[in-house]
């Protein structure tokens, strides 16, 4: 049977549903946007849901879409879900939420940029996205079944994020709980960033205000993808969180950058840090990393101590600390550990001793008996 009706969109796309009672596969008519249903409101979605379980094509939200977008019954969309952006005007959908309760498979892309009214994306059964998923302005995202895709980008005042099953993002993963990822303004709320199943990512950029961070199964950063960083993690405006990559074994070159309210930093299994490695600590932070070989390490902010007990080789080590760090001892121990005479260390501190704060916290390759001695001396002097 062939049902034909006219969609009263600006683009007046005539859409047909070719209905087979058994397969319930619907192929939209070919139009200006390819094989696509253009939907103007919920009733258009209900019409698709009434007769289809598979959409062999794309669903496009028109620019004047308003309210909730609730697409039940559809399990398979072979191409994309997007909104109509070809006509660059100021008109944007006023969509409030996207709810895909039955969708398991999306062959192409879910692309929903630039809709400030959007608050949620809920697709609890969506397991596979063929290419990418990109959404901004959202506060709640439930993709608990999503296993793998090429690109994942989620931006907004995100306060609730479920990616329970996400195992692999072959290229880039970008999660920003700020309205704009470049913005300095984090939301008032904070986000628990929990990626329990993630094993491999091309590269990752995670920015905002996080109340916790956990990637217990992340093993590989492969270096594929469009981001400059191999890993960038920025958390600001909240309390200091512990950052740990307990299983991470492989990071290619590129850059690894940690910034913000960090309480501790642990990367126990990386012995060759060939990336540019930078830390900018807003809270007092003790650095203890097991790198044997490193390229360029730059530590700034409230760095209170540095341990690199396994270090044998490094290109350049730069410390610019706001805290009470002992540069002389640092230079000495790095030089001893790497057995090199040329200066590899640039160290400075803007901290001025108030007298009661004097301490020495440097323990690198070769243990410094001198440090122990100073510690005893300070205890003695203050008692
Ligand atoms: C969207 O615009 C089209 C025409 O441009 C109109 O027919 C349709 O009713 C509009 N939809 C809504 C929800 O306003
Ligand atoms: C859906 O299919 C049923 C039975 O085939 C038909 O009666 C109904 O009109 C169809 N609805 C739409 C919106 O096409
Ligand atoms: C799906 O749509 C394509 C056009 O994009 C068409 O060639 C193909 O025959 C359709 N598949 C089925 C099963 O109808
Ligand atoms: C979505 O649509 C389904 C089917 O019409 C309905 O049962 C459900 O309550 C709707 N959910 C929301 C959140 O609107
Ligand atoms: C989705 O539907 C298309 C077209 O019928 C089919 O080729 C494909 O295998 C389906 N995908 C899944 C995961 O069911
Ligand atoms: C694009 O939008 C402009 C301004 O809203 C309008 O004048 C023009 O007709 C639109 N073009 C198409 C192809 O819809
Ligand atoms: C996001 O959070 C910031 C800071 O709390 C707030 O100024 C902004 O209005 C929020 N934006 C949205 C879209 O909720
Ligand atoms: C964010 O916090 C500031 C200062 O505490 C407050 O003025 C503002 O209203 C808050 N904004 C939101 C969206 O909660
Ligand atoms: C993490 O990996 C371990 C072993 O590799 C596995 O047993 C566990 O289920 C994984 N956790 C999740 C949440 O996938
Ligand atoms: C991790 O990378 C190594 C070396 O490139 C590769 O052998 C391994 O298969 C990768 N593992 C995963 C889970 O991607
Ligand atoms: C660092 O050295 C300790 C003690 O020698 C060793 O157990 C550990 O495996 C080393 N870690 C790395 C990442 O090389
Ligand atoms: C370092 O920490 C102190 C408090 O311990 C704080 O006052 C100062 O602003 C911090 N410095 C930076 C660069 O965040």
Q: Is 266 in the pocket of ligand 11 (CB under 6 A)?
A: no
**Helices then strands, each counted (H, E), the chain:** 3, 33
Using CA atoms, how far residue 208 sits from 155, 192, 212, 333, 362, in Å, is 9, 11, 11, 36, 31
pLDDT reported for residue 202: 96
In angstroms, what is the span from residue 303 Cα to ligand 12's centroid?
Answer: 10
Higher pLDDT, 198 or 350: 198
Is a pLDDT exceeding 80 seen at residue 109? Answer: yes
**Mean pLDDT in the chain?**
85
Q: Between β-strands 168-176 and 148-149, what pairing exists: parallel, antiparallel or unpaired?
A: parallel
Is a pLDDT exceeding 60 seen at residue 370? Answer: no
Percent over 90 (pLDDT), the chain: 69
Q: Is 288 in the pocket of ligand 11 (CB under 6 A)?
A: no
Protein residue whose Cα sits closest to atom 13 of ligand 12? 301
Ligand 6 atom nearest 90 alpha carbon: 5
The burial of 328, by beta-carbon neighbours within 10 Å (0-12 exposed, 13-18 middle, 19 or more buried), is given as: exposed
Q: Is 188 in the pocket of ligand 7 (CB under 6 A)?
A: yes
Residues at CB less than 6 angstroms from ligand 3: 25, 27, 35, 56-57
- In this prediction, residue 88 has a pLDDT band, given cuts at 50, 70 and 90, of low
Q: 374: helix, coil or strand? A: helix
CA-based nearest residue to 159, from 184, 145, 135, 176? 176
pLDDT reported for residue 74: 97
In angstroms, what is the span from residue 6 Cα to ligand 3's centroid?
Answer: 21
Is a pLDDT exceeding 60 seen at residue 13? Answer: no
Ligand 10 atom nearest 199 alpha carbon: 13
Least confident of 79-93, 141-155, 222-236: 79-93
pTM here?
Answer: 0.84
pLDDT tens profile 36-47: 999 999 999 999
Domain boundaries, the chain: 48-120
User: In sequence order, which residues have a C-beta less than 8 Å from that of residue 312 and are 6 or more positions away?
Assistant: 292, 293, 337, 338, 339, 365
pLDDT reported for residue 324: 85
Mean of the pLDDT values across residues 256-284?
96
């Amino acid at each position: 049977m062939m049902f034909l009706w006219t969609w009263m969109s600006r683009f007046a796309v005539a859409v047909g549903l070719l209905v087979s009672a058994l397969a319930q596969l619907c192929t939209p008519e070919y139009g200006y946007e390819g094989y696509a249903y253009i939907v103007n409101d919920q009733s258009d979605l209900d019409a698709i849901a009434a007769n289809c379980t598979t959409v062999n094509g794309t669903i496009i939200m028109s620019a004047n879409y308003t309210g909730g977008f609730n697409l039940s019954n559809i399990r398979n969309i072979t191409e994309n879900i997007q909104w109509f952006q070809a006509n660059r005007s100021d008109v944007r959908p006023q969509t409030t939420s996207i709810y895909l309760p039955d969708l398991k498979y999306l062959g192409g892309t879910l692309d929903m940029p630039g809709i400030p009214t959007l608050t949620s994306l809920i697709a609890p059964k969506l397991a596979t996205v063929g290419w990418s998923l990109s959404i901004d302005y959202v506060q709640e995202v439930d993709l608990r079944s999503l296993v793998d895709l090429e690109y994942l980008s989620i931006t907004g005042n995100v306060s609730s994020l479920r990616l329970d099953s996400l195992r692999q993002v072959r290229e880039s993963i970008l999660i920003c709980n700020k309205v704009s990822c470049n913005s300095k303004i984090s939301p008032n709320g904070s986000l628990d960033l929990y990626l329990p199943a993630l094993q491999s990512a091309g590269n990752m950029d995670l920015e905002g205000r996080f109340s916790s961070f956990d990637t217990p199964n992340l093993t590989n950063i492969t270096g594929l993808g469009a981001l400059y960083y191999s890993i960038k993690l920025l958390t600001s405006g909240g309390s200091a969180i512990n950052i740990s990559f307990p299983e991470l074994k492989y990071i290619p070159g590129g850059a690894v950058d940690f910034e913000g309210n960090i309480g501790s930093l642990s990367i126990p299994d990386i012995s060759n840090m060939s990336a540019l490695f930078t830390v900018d600590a807003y809270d007092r932070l003790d650095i203890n990393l097991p790198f044997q070989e490193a390229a360029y390490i730059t530590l700034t902010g409230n760095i209170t101590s540095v341990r690199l007990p396994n270090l044998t080789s490094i290109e350049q080590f730069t410390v610019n600390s706001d805290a009470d760090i002992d540069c002389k001892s640092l230079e000495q121990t790095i030089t001893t550990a790497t057995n090199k005479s040329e200066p590899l260390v640039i160290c400075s501190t803007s901290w001025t001793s108030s007298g009661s704060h004097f301490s020495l916290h440097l323990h690198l390759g070769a243990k410094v008996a001198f440090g122990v001695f100073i510690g005893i001396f300070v205890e003695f002097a203050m008692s």
